[in-house]
Structure 1
Amino acid sequence: MNNSIGWNSTVDSELRRPLALLTFSGLLAWMLLGSVLVLAETDEPRVQLEIAVDPRLPPLTSHEWAKALTTAGVQDVRVRMARPDDAPKVQQISSDPLPVYRVLAIVNAQNELVVPGGRFSIRQIEMFRQWLNDLRQQGPPESRPKQVAFGLNIVQFEQVRHDMSRPVAFSTKGRPRNELVENLVASLSNTSVFDPDARKRLGQDPFDEELQGLAVGTVLAYLLRYDGLAMVPQASVNGIRYQIMIGHAKLAAWPVGWPPEGSETTAVPKLLETLSVNIQSVSVKEVLQSVSERLSLPYLLDHPALARFGMELDKTTVNIPQTKTTYSQIIKRSLFQGRLKGEVRCDDAGKPFLWITTLKPIDEM
């Protein structure tokens, strides 16, 4: 799409007076904003913003944009009248020690601020600020690799997956959850940052499950979810970091495992093995433990969901009359009787496990 703006350079005499006012208001905006260049933080690239306003707009448009940007805290701005050959662009004018980007943004005839890869109304200044932040952290839009998840490009995402895929090298059973989380975080290559209230929510009671051998990322996400927390990988100009925060339903956080690449039975072929069973008044927990041992298939519990609905696996019984069936059917029938459901997931290293949650989902996570 051609973002350049064209108009007749010959201005009718009726328009000259408004344009003179526009020139004055543009000059005033320049005096207010352009003459004071505020340096950005030293740890991120600097952006110099030049805004060219279509002269067909009302004379006070320049002042309105200048005021809106100033109020929003956008710095290092110059406002002027647009020329016929102006087009939105980003130029890197320096890279020592960090890049300096010069942005030419056009306020078009529809009073929209147009930049490469985006356009914003004057009511969307916060969205434009995010565009500027993305520019500082990721460079110009046309030079960025395609993002795949969490705002990461494919190279960054694979770096995170590799970091998360190492197996937990120590026993987890009987140790305080907060201690386990701190040890797992310390084992990662990239920096982890806790939100102010997140670390306070980590439980100190002993953890009753053995997760040694599962991937670090999966175990960390599992432990954080236990206390209503979540981890979000983030990319910045300084590299990748892991933000640990309070979780909520709309948060795209690192998951407790991933769907298998093929079917569940491809990931765990023994699910299709047949056997004769006669299960009478046996707890769901005992059934899961028995199947887990037979299949060498660990299982993880969605503790927030179980707690929400008051479910205790050792107090819910299963009855399956004598029959010949598969492990897959035993799991499904046992969980259904306990108002639960399960699915095969794979940890960050590709090792399968069984994820157990409630039939009715919870809203918070």
Structure 2
Amino acid sequence: MEIELAVDPRLPPLTQHEWARELGRMGITRVRIRTAFPSDQPKVEVLPTSPQPTYRVIGIINNSNELVVPGARFSIRQLGGFVRWIDELRTSGPPESRPKTVAFGLDLVRFQLVKQDLAQPVAISTLGRNSREIVDQLLAKLHNPVVWDERAKSLLSSHEVNEELKNSASGTVLAYLLRYDGLALVPRGDVQGVKYWIVRGGPNVACWPVGWPPEEGESTAVPQLLEFLTVNIQNVNIRAVLQSIESRLGLVALFDYPALVRYGIDLEKTSINIPQTKTTYSQIIKRSLFQAKLKGEVRVDDAGKPFLWITTLRPIED
């Protein structure tokens, strides 16, 4: 690794000394620092040396006193990030030569393999079964290793599952059951491959989702939503309304239970009233959910099977 930093001449004279000192504190000592020329640009050159190539890094310290390298920039207080950038360069090569990432820091090939792995259908009945046992069985069938974050395992509960999720995709079912306990499944890749981390969830955690938006829209994924029928719903609880629609459409409804608990919504005690009218299944669902302070959307699992995802009008993060 050869590192050369070109400093904008408009910066104070001591700038080069300050950067050299801070880089030295981070263990980066073999660095040449000079005044920048107008033609200087951030780049990585690959020198054909043996047995391993040598990377020659040209970084620019701009007039905002930021170090700019291909694909990143760092202030003098963020040199830990520059160290990680160098480590990635050593292991993965120059940024422009790496496969583009599409999600979770995974390139397209790895992401598709992960999605294929998590598309495995659930082969067991889940209705009335212990959630912890289901999670353990599904994780054991995945092709990539599973790593539990500290304390995550102790948070996994053993509640009774109220939905029949047999034949649904394993990734979607895992994301659904883990969310109940505030946990999340996160695929992470490194030089050794991909691992599935089970971690505590949160608004800043990029986790595997409970399903995906259908690429061609809800009505294409479930055409029956646009069918007309005459209804007259009087003081029927929201769960019963949705169970009737589920049986007619063959569409499983999954509830965001943590959000329901957060806002004190009891499905059994929330009554729905829709005067006699001719309408579509889609409108019945929307009107019923709105009366219950809920909202819903059609999603597809990792194998493309549609289901109805139901959560609160207000996000749980509020």
* The one of 76, 79, 91 aligned to 2:46: 91
Find the partner of 1:80 among 32, 35, 46. 32
Select the residue among 272, 277, 284 that pairs with 1:323: 277
1:231 is aligned to: 185
> Structure 1 residue aligned with 2:55, among 99, 102, 112?
102
For the structure 1 residues 312 and 92, does the alpha-carbon distance in structure 2 shift closer, same or farther, using more than 3 Å as the test? Answer: farther
Alpha carbons of 1:181 and 1:67: their partners in 2 closer, same or farther (altered >3 Å)?
farther
Cα deviation for residue 86 of structure 1 reads 8.5
**What is the match of residue 193 of structure 1?**
147
Distance 1:279 1:119, change over 3 A: closer
* Alpha-carbon distance in 1 for matches of 2:193, 2:135: 22
In 2: Cα distance, 1:101 partner to 1:192 partner: 35
Aligned to 1:180: 134
Unaligned runs of 5+ in 1: 1-47
Which residue number in structure 1 is paired with residue 3 of structure 2? 50
Q: Which residue of 1 aligns with 2:247?
A: 293
**What amino acid sits opposite 1:78 in the alignment?**
R
Give 1 or 2 for the bigger CA radius of gyration.
1
**2:166 counterpart (212, 227, 248):** 212
Could you say which residue in structure 1 is the equivalent of 2:86? 132
Query: Following the alignment from structure 1 to structure 2, what is the Cα–Cα distance between the partners of residues 55 and 283?
Result: 68
User: In 2 relative to 1, CA 175–115 (structure 1 residues): closer, same or farther, beyond 3 Å?
Assistant: same
Instruction: Give the counterpart of 2:156 among 182, 202, 211.
Output: 202
Shift in alpha-carbon separation, 1:191–1:136, aligned structure 2, 3 A? farther
User: Paired residue for 2:119, among 154, 165, 172?
Assistant: 165
Q: Is residue 2:22 matched to residue 1:68?
A: yes
Q: CA RMSD in A?
A: 2.8
Gaps in structure 2 of 5+ consecutive residues: none
Deviation at 1:315, TM superposition (A): 1.3
Deviation, structure 1 residue 301: 0.4
Say if 2:284 is the partner of 1:335.
no
Q: Identity percentage over the alignment?
A: 55
- For 2:141, the aligned partner's letter is S
Contact 2:16 2:34 survives alignment (8 Å): no
Aligned CA distance change for structure 1 residues 207 and 86 (closer, same or farther; 3 Å)? same
